[in-house]
Structure 1
Amino acid sequence: MIPVLEIGGTHVTAALVDLPGGRVVQRTRKPLDPHGAAGDIVGDVRRCAAGLPVPAGARWGVAVPGPFDYAKGVALFAGVGKFEALYGVDVGAALLGGLWQRRGDVVFLNDAQAFLAGEWFAGAARGHVRAVGITLGTGVGSAFLAEGLIREDGPGVPPEGRMDLTEVGGRPLEDTVSRRAILARYGDPAADVRDIAERAKAGEERACRVLADAMTVLGNALGPRLVDFGATALVVGGSMARSWDLVGSALRGGLASGGWVPDEVNPGNADPGDGSRRTDTPRSPAGTTTGPGRVPVGTARHTRAVKPTGSAEDAALIGAARAAATA
């Protein structure tokens, strides 16, 4: 079993992963205060992982959002609205002795890259030679993968593989596609994105338009890159992907306008939303349909397929385990 951590903007998950089986076998999830003091954040991470029965001498995989110096294990959060107190903190050293005993016992990697690596290894991107992953939460996370390896340069790949570093109309992409941008566009200070989604489901035109406009912009920006990269799968995860019925059509339309026309969207994998699962299509080879909010993934091959997963957590945990195992 491989011990892993997935650190999100408001939570931390500690887990053990059975990598050959492609599954998470044990997990603990705790909230994090993104505006807390550095010692409190590190302490919460340590306490979350404390109860795991970690094998002696195990190497940890840790998925964490950027900006972060993954080679050195140093946090570089600044101007991103979370974990500002950790700026310059050597997280690897701060957890030394508590979780791992040597510096070589931990591998840090970007959370979006961990998500896509996990989906390629045991999920929605399995069987695709070139795939792209997008996570939609407080911002836009992204990763580009070819033949099992993350790519940070080359045709179609944005700087460092990060769509958040790209611009639309001379402005950063996240000025249009992010939690803060959607809230600003909607204009109700009492509403969060979840509220906007609920209002859109109820038929409110303004809420529908705000979500659709953001996803159309994302699709327009991403489509040409998918074409140049030669991607045959786009896997979409994160909290906003749980509202796929609201955002999926606009994203597909934007992708098509950008030149990347999906052949089918999540074929045969509809989740009825009542807690049941469809059984008329095969599950993913490694059975990775468990976990919070995940949508079952089929094994059909497509020239261009968009596959929403609903949650990025399981895939990120599996991807972090794979990074630890191959380091």
Structure 2
Amino acid sequence: MRSAVPVLEVGGSHLTAALVSLDAALPSVTRMRRWHVEPDCSAASFVQTLLEGAAWLDVAPGTDWGIAMPGPFDYDAGIGRFEGVGKFEALNGFDVRAAFTAGLPAAPGRVVFLNDADAFGLGEYAAGAARGFRRAICLTLGTGVGSAFVADGVALSSGPGVPPDGEAHFIVWGGAELEETVSRRAIRRGYAELTGQHLDVHEIAALARAGDGVAAALLERTFRALGEALSPHVRDFGAEVLVLGGSIAGSFDLIEPPLRKGLARDVVLRVAADPEHAPLIGAAAHACSG
């Protein structure tokens, strides 16, 4: 029987430490705590927070770890590549794996890194909205477009239908990367250009539900474009389900109809079942897969 798997998940402003049980029929998080992380913190401060999370979990020496990190990051080497992206700049060229391993009181087993969007996708595949499907595309819609192309429990970075490095933001739509059309900033910018009002996405969505024609048309156009941009990837990847997570997915009722029109093909559309725990479960599954 496999013991609980320790994982750390790093977001734009947080670190989550958790223990994940993979032994039951349905993987689950058995212990979890979150710390605040400043995106402009020093490398030393960042590693110290990682080690605080590890100490709180208090696992035995020789245990394998899964660590989910946002990109750009060299996941095989465990080294940050955060240059010109406005976050974690102090980690650019910094060996996070070596510093984390050296700071633990006893030697761990493997320390395995993976992309945070891949962790989300693997978690939804193992225990969430993509469970029971062989091939799934899982998106996180918010400040950008995160993605995981999961086939038989593996997040792919290449192959038919998979954009470069498995990252949907590299998909070009309307002559620009997809995030220029489908992201929080793009939707806010679009509404401001049409009305002169600077509202957030949830406010625009509320107006659309209340009958605001401008808000409704903007969201219709945005998510139909998302479907049209994704359609060839869904086809070529052979996706059976498309799962949406991230802050914008809270407006799934407004997203689903235009997205389905744009896709123009038979694929199951679902909102993420457990966006809080999915990256943790995915990180654990990945740490135990090699």
The answer (yes or no) to whether the contact 1:144–1:150 under 8 Å persists in 2 is: yes
Please report how far the alpha carbon of residue 28 of structure 1 lies from its aligned counterpart in structure 2 after TM superposition: 0.6
Instruction: Specify the alignment match of 1:222 in structure 2.
Output: 230
Give runs of aligned pairs for residues 1-327 of structure 1, distance below 5 A: 1-21=4-24, 22-99=27-104, 101-102=106-107, 104-187=109-192, 191-256=199-264, 260-261=265-266, 304-309=267-272, 311-327=274-290
What TM-score does the superposition give when structure 2 sets the normalisation length? Answer: 0.87
In structure 1, stretches of 5+ residues that fail to align are 262-303
Q: Secondary structure at the match of 1:96?
A: helix
Tell me which residue corresponds to 1:273.
none
- Residue 138 of structure 1 contacts residue 180 of structure 1 at CA under 8 Å; is this kept in 2? yes
Q: Alignment partner of 1:72: what SS?
A: coil
* Alpha-carbon shift at residue 238 of structure 1 (Å): 1.6
Query: Which structure's residues are more often helix, by fraction?
Result: 2
- Percent sequence identity over aligned pairs: 50
Residue 61 of structure 2 contacts residue 109 of structure 2 at CA under 8 Å; is this kept in 1?
no
In the TM superposition, what is the alpha-carbon distance from 1:218 to its structure 2 partner?
1.5
Q: In structure 2, the residue corresponding to 1:54 is in which secondary structure?
A: coil
Query: Does the 8 A contact of 2:256 with 2:269 survive in 1?
Result: no
CA distance 1:182–1:27, shift in 2 (3 Å): same
Residue pair 1:28, 1:49 contacting (<8 A) in 2 also: no
How has the CA–CA distance of structure 1 residues 102 and 205 changed in structure 2, closer, same or farther, with 3 Å as cutoff? farther
The separation in 2 between residues aligned to 1:211 and 1:99, in whole angstroms, is 48
Q: Is 1:15–1:26's contact at 8 Å kept on the other side of the alignment?
A: yes
The amino acid across from 2:126 in the alignment is F
Residues 149-196 of structure 1, C-alpha deviations (whole Å, 9 max, x = no match): 222222211111111112112211111122222222232685433443
> Residues 324, 305 of structure 1: CA spacing in aligned structure 2 closer, same or farther, 3 A cutoff?
same
Distance 1:319 1:211 in 2: 30
Structure 2 gaps of 5+ residues are none
CA distances 1:294-326 after superposition (whole Å, capped 9, x unpaired) = xxxxxxxxxx31111165331111111011112
TM-superposed CA distance for 1:35, in Å, is: 3.2
